[in-house]
A and B are shown apart, each in its own frame.
Chain A
Amino acid sequence: MTPPSALAQTPPADSIEPRIVVEKLNAYFNDFHAIHDISVKIPDRRVTAVIGPSGCGKSTFLRCLNRMHELVVGARANGKVLVDGVDVYDRGVDPVRLRRHVGMVFQKPNPFPTMTIRENVLAGLTLNGVKVRDSEALVERTLTQVALWDEVKDKLDQSGMSLSGGQQQRLCIARVLAVEPSVILLDEPCSALDPIATARIEELFSELRERYTLVMVTHNMQQAARVSEYTAFFYMGDLIEFDATERIFTNPKETRTEDYVTGRFG
């Protein structure tokens, strides 16, 4: 893939077809109002980073996109989240099926310990009782997509836990890809990894971008700057600013954004 011209400016978020449209999203943990009236359009097939200090609601926001938020006891959400035009909070939508279209990768790599590498890749399908036609090809395809095939092709029958941290995380990404989602949510995917593994996975994101829409929560601003085209800054449950990453990091509009990215938060 030819890298985009270094001088090309990122177009404003509004000018790109959105894959996810969030309208007035609110989320609660019992009585605690975690995120307030969030409205944002996540552009299609781009990487959108979500940054902000601890407790600002960025992970909660992410989990509302695939309705994992409500799995916590006492948690609820209201508002609209339109994925490909369909409101996922509509009564008729099955959250389980939603999660096959909107996959998630977590902070700590979590391959299933009782399964082999091959079984892990296919887990999203086999656990649902789906018979996979040509499973070997699928395994090879997804592991190649995450640049893991060459490293593990001779040990597909070994336990998923026998890999290094970076490899495990790539395995988890392959596992998500095998289910063929259109959106991939990533909750601090590299924070448990060393810098080299992180760099390889960041490179993977720029390749995945061609086919999938990525939304990534990160507390590492430099990573957001490296990897994403658009950045959303959250603070205390509010979306403060959403703009092209290069503008957030060279000339943000909001004082609070400026203070956060330059390290002026007390």
Chain B
Amino acid sequence: MIEKAPPAASPSGTSTDTAPADSTPVGARPAGAPPGPGSRHTHLLVAAPGERARKLRSTMWLWLCGLSAVVVLIPLLSIFVYVVQKGAAGLSLSFFTELPKPVGETGGGMGNAVVGTLTLIAIASAIGLPVGILSGVYIAEVGRGKVADLVRFFAEVLSGVPSITVGVFVYALLVVPMKQFSAFAGGVSLAIIMIPTVTRTTEELLRMVPSHLREASLALGVPMWRTSLFVVLRTAAPGIATGVMLSVARIAGETAPLLFTAFNNRFMSTRLDQPIASLPVQILTYSTSPYEDWQQQAWTGALVLVVVILMLNVLARLGARSRIGAKR
């Protein structure tokens, strides 16, 4: 708070007696008085009326914002800390390599769940990425007007569908006819969840590619479809890769749809037509069991899942930053 200049006491121009010891010889002037020679802007040193209150309010708001930011961080940090604390104990090589032991026996691991999650991600990506990217290309580049808007609308609606509904849908579509749970069905359900995100990311990033690149390609006599794929898409590729990583991070943790589609498998399996284990489902099973051993493994599994998702997010962020850095 500016306290240097004493409040205006003398209305006269000269101020031989009011200057405090540390102020400039120019001295204080009442606000609004015409500045004398050599003291053009000392009115800036005098606190305006109401300034104190304004500053107080400003500080208050800043603190409120800061506090809210901290509040946001608390759940994330506490989850992480808690999971690490509980799960670290069970971390070992055998966790990743061994299969679950039969009920009652101690030891074993979640090797099959880890492999299962990877398999499901692979299947989901194989289906979801091409569909998502190409539909994004369609909306951004090819479709004109109403049709493109319609496709975008449906993609947005799809992203809002609860994941358990997706699971039930795929159950009716695939599991019932096949008469069994399968990795394939699990992959399909995850793909359906993945597609809207990939589509929207692709579309947004394609829109961000400056139009003059498109024009340059067209002016060279390159047809529209080649321009879209080999110039526009290629330019947007790093950003799309980021979006893909984020959507993979999301589906890695989906549990509900897998309950209806991939179910679970106590053994290692990568067959598409058989049920398959996955980390989320395994965690669910173990954590709701009465066995301490399994509960511990559930925590470890949760830790692994959180770490993987965290790594994917960090990688995506680093990738984005390095892309921007390289462009400069």
Contacts and interface: CB of A to CB of B under 8 A. Distances in A.
Interface of A: 66, 68, 71, 73, 96-100, 103-104, 106, 108, 110, 112-114, 123-124, 127-129, 161, 172, 175-176, 179
B219 A99 contact: yes
Contact of B218 (A71, A97, A113): A71
Given A110-B212, A113-B327, A129-B226, 17 more contacts: A71-B215, A96-B223, A100-B220, A108-B212, A110-B210, A112-B213, A113-B235, A114-B234, A114-B235, A127-B217, A127-B220, A127-B222, A127-B226, A128-B221, A161-B327, A176-B220, A179-B221
Judged by DSSP, the binding face of B is helix
Interface in B233-251: 234-235, 237
B231 A127 contact: yes
B232 to A, nearest CB: 10
Contacts of B237: 114
Interface string B95-125: 0000000000000000000000000000000
Interface of B: 144-145, 210, 212-213, 215-223, 226-227, 230-231, 234-235, 237, 327
B221 A100 contact: yes
Given A114-B235, A127-B230, A106 B222 contact: no
Contacts of B234: 114
Contacts of B230: 127
A113 B231 CA distance: 9
A172 B212 CA distance: 12
23 contacts: A68-B218, A71-B215, A73-B144, A98-B221, A99-B219, A99-B220, A103-B220, A103-B221, A104-B215, A104-B219, A106-B215, A106-B216, A106-B219, A112-B213, A112-B235, A113-B213, A123-B217, A123-B220, A127-B220, A127-B222, A161-B327, A172-B216, A176-B220
Contacts of A71: 215, 218
Contact of A99 (B144, B218, B235): B218
B219 A68 contact: yes
B328 to A, nearest CB: 9
A112 B227 CA distance: 11
Contacts of A100: 220-221
Contacts of B213: 110, 112-113
Contacts of A161: 327
A96 B230 CA distance: 16
Contacts of B215: 68, 71, 104, 106, 110
Contacts of B223: 96, 128
A110 B220 contact: no
Contacts of A106: 212, 215-216, 219
Contacts of B226: 127-129
A216 to B, nearest CB: 15
Contacts of B145: 73
Nearest to B227: A127
Contacts of B221: 96-100, 103, 124, 128, 179
